[in-house]
Structure 1
């Protein structure tokens, strides 16, 4: 024996079905609600149609069945639980003009299962939304989705109604769709790029001005100005380098600056360095070096 409840498709109307199959003779079936007999008969399946106004949710509708075989009586019962549909959705949705947006609506707690429809609150009575090129409706289980293609502020902004009905009750929930105009993204990006280039130019100019290794002193636009080129002879540069290296590598004992000499109007400054000979040098070699040094000094005096 079994029971079921179904929505007939007529608002505020549902049907109760009770069946007990396989017995002979046919059983006696009876629907009751809150002690009140709704319908009865001797048959395998008993169907009764009720309006929601006749239904009270205190007890559950019950079907009683009785099989009589000779002197044996078999009794069975089943019942159904009726439930109101409850809706859940987002009260506000936003769509950018020219794009698509999807509204969703979920129903729970409904028995029999509810049917979901979408309406537009643009007239009285409300206009039902049907699937097509502009609107696409998809229902998966107890969830319904309405997709609005290429939404516009003039045609699509406003209230949308998700309506759920199962014969026991009818519930509605309102969803407001706000259509906004896209901002000038191109202008904003251009302003950011210009600001970035200005900052890079300022940083580059500061670095080139402050760093003497990079700063460009030459002006390609000036004309008629002379340039000064300083030449240094390679031989003099090598001699100066050798003198500097000998001063660093040789143990320093004493130094005495010599008096600057004047020749041909130019002043030359020489520096005479005195070095102490090593301890293991021979006396003959030391005397020869002393004689050569004295000879060089005499030549310089002349």
Structure 2
């Protein structure tokens, strides 16, 4: 009988627990400011104090220690108390309390901490294929209570943390600025925060000329970083501007702001102009890229010509260098290449070398008045223009006595 009674009691407890667990617990909203003391209630019935209470947030237990000095703790009545609430405490909490009679009571509490983010709201474009409309989005997440947002300078503020607006593409202009303003009950008047978007027409950029050798591959690149809203960019070919798709001949790639077109196995038929076309709600702009295809023989001929020109330049430099080197004595003496030397030459002959010139220079007595003499001969080198008209004076000049100490 005792075993049967015990089994029946356990079955009753399990049934009560299961019946409570199946019901979705109601959620209590609690609002506080940063630094406030907060209490999240769990069991408010009159059936006694819970024998066991556990609080969880996002599946993790919180406030497990019943330490009065802890910032977050579970008290005897089953409530969860925050000594000083912070922004990170916001969220949904689940309480599970076991009552003295064995039943389990569950409750939810949503804690909201009033907050004004330090950042500005975010303005962004919403990509759309409909170029007749412009869709904008403004959001300011993290603010509580929800902020009030407004697009433009006129109109009413709407309480929302995410506000979208759709504009007619025909009524906007290049360079126009669009502003989203956010206000909050905790912000003082005149301290609203905002974000700004500027409308800009597309302007694709790239090298307008390209060259390739027949049988190879070549890549054409187009860069678009200006357009706002972002532009739709495509590649076309020829006067008909037929749109190019990826296939066995062409490979298209989109790497951020760069749009690349790779042409495989280039032939003469690929020679011509390709067009990078960028379009948004403010207009269409085109970059023209003209491709020149060369045969392998023409490329070989061009290489030979280049080598010949380089060799010619090097050879000319060698000839000029040799010429300068051979005339270096004339350049160093200031005579230049074609200048005539008509100046006098002063020859100083040391007295010990007078024997060398004995056939052309009259001998002087070795000693005069007890001093040695030095012979100085001054003669002029005749100019070629005066060889016939002015015969050279070959008579010896009167030497000058230079005294030297003995």
Given the two structures, how large is their TM-score scaled by the length of structure 1? 0.51
Aligned mate of 1:162, from 276, 279, 291: 276
1:100 deviates by: 1.4
Tell me what 1:56 maps to. Answer: 173
Change (3 A) 1:188 1:59: closer
Change (3 A) 1:51 1:171: farther
CA distance in 1, matches of 2:301, 2:195: 71
1:187 deviates by: 10
1:41 maps onto 2:158 in alignment: yes
CA distance in 2, matches of 1:10, 1:163: 17
Change (3 A) 1:10 1:120: farther
1:13-64 Cα shifts (integer Å, max 9, x gaps): 43211112344554332111xx565x96332211112243222345521112
Tell me what 1:182 maps to. Answer: 296
Structure 1: which 5+ residue stretches go unaligned? 190-302
> Does the 8 Å contact 2:220/2:262 carry over to 1?
yes
Tell me what 1:79 maps to. Answer: 196
Change (3 A) 1:81 1:121: same
CA distance in 2, matches of 1:187, 1:30: 69
Tell me what 2:247 maps to. Answer: 132
1:96 maps onto 2:213 in alignment: yes
Alignment root-mean-square deviation, CA: 3.3
> Which protein has greater RCO, CA pairs closer than 8 Å, 6+ apart?
1
Q: Could you say what secondary structure the match of 1:108 adopts?
A: coil
Tell me what 1:152 maps to. Answer: 267
Change (3 A) 1:66 1:56: same
Change (3 A) 1:90 1:24: closer
> Does the 8 Å contact 1:13/1:168 carry over to 2?
no
1:147-169 Cα shifts (integer Å, max 9, x gaps): 10112223x23221101234443
Q: Could you say what secondary structure the match of 1:53 adopts?
A: helix
CA distance in 2, matches of 1:188, 1:109: 40
Structure 2: which 5+ residue stretches go unaligned? 1-120, 304-406
CA distance in 1, matches of 2:196, 2:159: 19
> Does the 8 Å contact 1:131/1:137 carry over to 2?
yes
Given the two structures, how large is their TM-score scaled by the length of structure 2? 0.39
1:10 deviates by: 2.8
1:102 deviates by: 1.4
Change (3 A) 1:20 1:128: same
Of the structure 1 ranges 106-115 and 168-177, higher mean CA displacement relative to structure 2 is found in 106-115
> Does the 8 Å contact 1:100/1:149 carry over to 2?
yes
1:173 maps onto 2:290 in alignment: no
Structure ID, larger Rg = 1
Alignment of 1:1-302 (within 5 A): 1-11=121-131, 13-32=133-152, 35=153, 41-57=158-174, 59-68=176-185, 75-121=192-238, 123=240, 126-154=241-269, 156-183=270-297
CA distance in 1, matches of 2:302, 2:205: 39
CA distance in 2, matches of 1:165, 1:15: 16
Aligned residues: 182
1:114-134 Cα shifts (integer Å, max 9, x gaps): 3421112353xx322122221
Change (3 A) 1:10 1:159: farther
Change (3 A) 1:9 1:187: closer
CA distance in 1, matches of 2:124, 2:301: 63
1:82-139 Cα shifts (integer Å, max 9, x gaps): 333222122222233322121111123233443421112353xx32212222111223
